[in-house]
Amino acid sequence: MSFWVEKKLNQLTTVQWESLCDGCGKCCLNKLIDDETEDLYYTDAACHLLDDDTCACRHYPERFKYVPACTAITVDNIAELTWLPDSCAYKRLHDGRELPSWHPLLTGSKEAMHAAGISVKGKTINEKRVKDVFDHIVLWPLKDLD
């Protein structure tokens, strides 16, 4: 059996935890929360460190130096991070779901994820080029398959 099936999230090694990330990049999109309803809206305005082609952070190891507000996802805060997309591997496993069929740990690459339209590849704008973030609300980050 695979480690993410055999073990609980709090039993994973750091390497196993990091490998669960599918690298979709959706957690790096700017999000808006309605003050009154607390409804969450995704935008296509991405953190300026996000590479829209690879969907990876350009300075992941030292990202907090450039973006202090970046959130490290851990087993201790996963329950509180309600803004993570439903497709996020951490959220899925925390919610008792399985990894999706397109996940890189199952397919060996990000290609199936990109092909399924799950990642941010080619869909974002650098937040520094955005004039009004309210003009950038999008629905595609809500996509979640199997």
Residues in the site for ligand SF4, rule: CB under 6 A?
21-28, 47, 49-50, 57, 63, 67, 70, 73, 84-85, 88-90
CB of 36 to ligand SF4, least distance (A): 26
Q: Which is nearer to ligand SF4, 22 or 44 (CB)?
A: 22
Q: Which is nearer to ligand SF4, 67 or 137 (CB)?
A: 67
Angstrom distance (rounded) from CA 13 to CA 41: 33
CB of 20 to ligand SF4, least distance (A): 7
User: What number of other Cβ atoms are within 10 A of residue 75's Cβ?
Assistant: 14
Angstrom distance (rounded) from CA 133 to CA 144: 24
CB of 88 to ligand SF4, least distance (A): 3
Q: Which is nearer to ligand SF4, 78 or 137 (CB)?
A: 78
Q: Which is nearer to ligand SF4, 52 or 137 (CB)?
A: 52
Whether the CB-CB separation of 89 and 113 falls below 8 Å is answered with: no
46, HSE (Cβ side, Cα atoms, 13 Å)? 24
CB of 7 to ligand SF4, least distance (A): 18
By three-state DSSP, how is residue 109 classified?
coil
Partnered with residue 43 across adjacent β-strands are: 137
